[in-house]
Structure 1
Amino acid sequence: METTRHFTATVYIVNDGAVALHRHERLGIRIPPGGHVDRDELPHEAGLREVREETGLEPELVDDTDSVPAPDGEALPQPRQQMLYDINVHDGGAVGHQHIDHIYYARVDSRDIDPAQGEAGTEAWDWYAPDDLRESNLDPDTVQFSLEAIDVVSGDSN
């Protein structure tokens, strides 16, 4: 069986020392904004678009990627993490679908979530401070990335 792989982008958004996560209806877990990279997008562009669609907030990536002098090129924002997630596993352990996830951290200037029509409503979203994350039953990777995002964004001087 051939494994299908899709590129995805996830952005952990931080405001005033807390990260926003929403309850994903189908998956039954809490996750940050994110989704598939469209054919005409770069991964960081997809992540920013997903934040705008899912939250109505305007994110600013916290990016410390060095520029590279290239006459016909540009350095892209580097993801803070890249993860390979198995999306559907068949009997016998064969993986039919995977996501190659580019994980970014960003700041937002507000906690006023106003999702686009068709997205999870405001009631699906909560803001998690570090103590909330440590005491939660969230997936360990979500907790780790959330805590890292808070540290990175809070320590950034931009």
Structure 2
Amino acid sequence: MGRLLKIIPNFGPYLTKATITHRQQNGQRQEQLQQTELTFRHQIAVHENNAQDNWIKPRIWEREMAEQSREVASLKHRQDGMEGKRLLEGYRRRRPMPGSPEMQNPPRRGKGHVMMCSSLISVAKPFPVGDHRVSWTESQLRPGTAGGLKG
């Protein structure tokens, strides 16, 4: 700059003003650069925090799912043990009792079909002669007759 001032004497004050303005502009640009760098660092920190949260959440869910599957397995094991204990104790499905509706034969239709009412009195054809099946007759049902039911 000294050589330039010797060559052009009137140019000196202009150069000093220009350098001052350039230094001011350079300082302003440095401040802007620092502010943008600060905002970028802040944005990076926010994105890193979000990435960490997005990494942690699935791990939490995986842990909870593993705990639930362990719980399901233990409950199944417990249920199997209880069912085995029931079988050892003689627990069985209830079987139909003789005389219950499940055990009765379906009604048969035909010649020798005898229909009984609720009082066990035969209302159909009497048994043929010579048939040795037990049947209630009117003499057995009347009170006071020989072999009759007492009521």
TM-score (norm 2): 0.14
Larger Rg: 2
Q: Whose RCO is larger (CA < 8 A, sep 6+)?
A: 1
Higher helix share: 2
Higher strand share: 1
TM-score (norm 1): 0.14
